[in-house]
Amino acid sequence: MRAVGFTGIDDTEALSESWQTTVFADAGRRSLANLVQSTGTPAIMVSFLDSDVGFVEALTPGGGSWEGLLNRETAESYEIPLEHFPVEPAVAGALAWSAAAGLTPDEEAIRQTLTGAALFAEQLSAALLAALGLPGAT
């Protein structure tokens, strides 16, 4: 992870034989793209703003990408322009990303995480990983 631009790595947890989550302090420019290119596998990254809002970015080796926003109501209080993160294109992108990753997504659960609210955005992030079908995600 450090080799592709992620720094301040605190914790890595294996979800399954082929999936893991990593907590890190910072990602350099193009870190996610570099990770996907170096591993040849899809990847997803969630950046948090004070545990209140989550910014989702996902890429596939074939160039498929999507972005989403977690905790939209709270994001609005930060004056984050919600129109920059439309829900339906994010759901469609998430479904395509999941299929490219060989996973079985739950469309309604994805939609719920992208429109729902939680005390901490990390809760929605965990729910999103499960909705995308990542083995071992809860």
The string of pLDDT tens digits covering residues 10-53 is 555 566 667 756 665 566 566 788 888 888 889 888 989 999 99
The string of pLDDT tens digits covering residues 79-101 is 999 999 999 999 999 999 999 99
Q: Which pTM value belongs to this model?
A: 0.86
Domain-wise residue ranges, the chain: 2-132
CB 69 within 8 A of CB 89: no
CB 75 within 8 A of CB 54: no
Burial of 26 (0-12, 13-18, 19+ CB in 10 A): exposed
Q: Is 62 in a helix, a strand, or coil?
A: coil
